[in-house]
Homo-oligomer: A and B are copies of this chain.
Amino acid sequence: MTDFPQGTSAHTISLLLGHPDPSTLASLEFGAELRGAANRADLFKMLQYGPEQGTPGLIQFLTEKLNHDEHLTLEPDNMMIVAGSTHAVDMIARLYAKPGGVVLVEAPSYADSIHIFRDHGLDLYGIPMDDEGLRVDALAGLLQTLKANGKAPTLLYSIPDFHNPTGITLAHTRRLEVLRLAAQYGFAIVEDDVYRELGFERTPPPSFYALADEQQQVFRIGSFSKTLAPGLRVGWLISSKAAIQHCINAGTTQMGGGANPFAAGLIAEYCRAGHWDQHLDRLRALYQARRDAVLGALAEHMPPTVRWTQPDGGFFIWLTLPDTIFARDVKQMALQEGVLVASGEGFFIQPAEGSHHLRLAFSFAPIPAMQVAMERLAQVIRRLA
């Protein structure tokens, strides 16, 4: 393993990937947890196959925390532990959408989730977004058009909070409207909510899961990858008891014996000791400072033709270039200046829609490096103008 994410080196400043700040990963508390585990008389239990639903202590902690923080009424059977959100997205695609089935995603959406849906042979449609998230009028129109063509979507995949790649949070009223359409047209909502805990100025609106009633099927996905350590590969899935049981009954769940019992056992102890809640407080302050630094540098250096989002949480800022400047040219020239950013194409089903967008991940590189990077990026854009 190197010190740098794939595609970077000591001489590049990476705003490419949604990787957490490396300084936050090996906390003193987590190190102590490891030492504690080594000394536990019941270490062998964490190393055996675990219950298919996942480590009970972690389910208990998470359901109690979410019930407390969000006034939910989760029972343990509304949750299973998953091996990161990847596991959940893949499992839902496999169990709930037949190949050739229709899945709706935000446009733009998370590139790797689009990739997973494509690997399952699903037919994808994008819903345009504005500053309040996915446009419900466009969703309603798309649903009508699909219906007229004899098609019915199975799933809507949404990242409602601090969206990847835009950083936008879906407005509360729109969540209610989307749920009404879900009930009307009979599709389920996959709510990829891995950034929810990372709100800076405000807590996000209630989740789709929290707002749904019995008519609406929601799969809400959470993760420790952004808020503890991605290398542990542990997250959670919340849904109806019947849906969770269906996921528990799946072949992969039965064969694997519970998602990452060892890592989940470590995390359960860490959380129950109160360390995660303290860590979240630190992370919110840390990522808020990172965002402020990048927004400040953008305001200072960017030409007036460039626009960007003002995320109030998460890891990402989304840049919109003037129509005359192509993101892939900016990306290429910025790379020559030692700055790594994501060009917009990969976030869209129709790559051309991303031609004038860049995603900046403010989560990873040191703040002074990101400030330098914004200056260089602005110079590149000015040169291309």
Neighbour of A231 across the interface among B49, B116, B117, B231, CB < 8 A: B49
Counting chain A residues whose Cβ lies within 8 A of the other chain, the interface size class is: 35 or more
- Annotate A230-271 by CB proximity to B: 1 below 8 A, 0 otherwise: 111100000000000000001110111101111101000000
CB-CB under 8 A from A285, the residues of chain B are none
A99: chain B residues at CB < 8 Å are: 98-99, 121
Give the nearest-CB partner of A257 in chain B.
Answer: B230
Q: Which listed residue, B84, B233, B254, touches A112 by the CB 8 Å rule?
A: B254
Partner of A256, one of B3, B6, B39, B84: B84
Question: B115 to A251, Cβ gap below 8 A?
Answer: yes
Q: How many angstroms between the C-alpha atoms of A26 and B41 in the bound complex?
A: 9
Which chain B positions have C-beta within 8 A of A255? Answer: 84-86, 89, 112-113, 115-116
Candidates B55, B98, B251, B256; contact of A118 at CB < 8 Å? B251
- State whether the Cβ of A383 lies closer than 8 Å to any Cβ in chain B: no
Q: Tell me the nearest residue of chain B to A43, going by C-beta.
A: B26
State whether A1 and B55 are in contact (beta carbons under 8 Å apart), knowing that A31-B43, A251-B115, A252-B86 are contacts in the complex.
yes
Contact B44 A230 (CB under 8 A): no
| Contact of A119 with B263 in the complex, beta carbons under 8 Å | no
A344 interfacial by beta-carbon distance below 8 Å? no
CA distance A114 to B255 in the complex (A): 10
Contact of A25 with B49 in the complex, beta carbons under 8 Å: no
Give A3 to B234 CA distance when docked, in angstroms.
Answer: 22
7 contacts between A and B (CB under 8 A): A5-B49, A23-B44, A86-B255, A90-B252, A94-B119, A99-B121, A119-B252
Q: Are B6 and A52 in contact (CB under 8 A)?
A: yes
Q: Do A25 and B37 touch (CB < 8 A)?
A: no
| Contact present for A1 and B50 (CB under 8 Å) | yes
With contact pairs A26-B44, A47-B26, A56-B1 given, residues A233 and B251 touching in the complex (Cβ less than 8 Å): no
CB-CB contacts below 8 Å: A209-231 with B: 225, 229-231
Looking at A14-22, A168-176, A276-284, the stretch in contact with chain B turns out to be A14-22
* Additional pairs, 8, CB under 8 Å, beyond known A31-B38, A34-B35, A38-B38: A1-B57, A17-B49, A34-B37, A35-B35, A48-B230, A49-B225, A112-B251, A233-B262
Interface 1/0 per residue, A70-114 and B, CB below 8 Å: 000000000000011111011000110011000000000000111
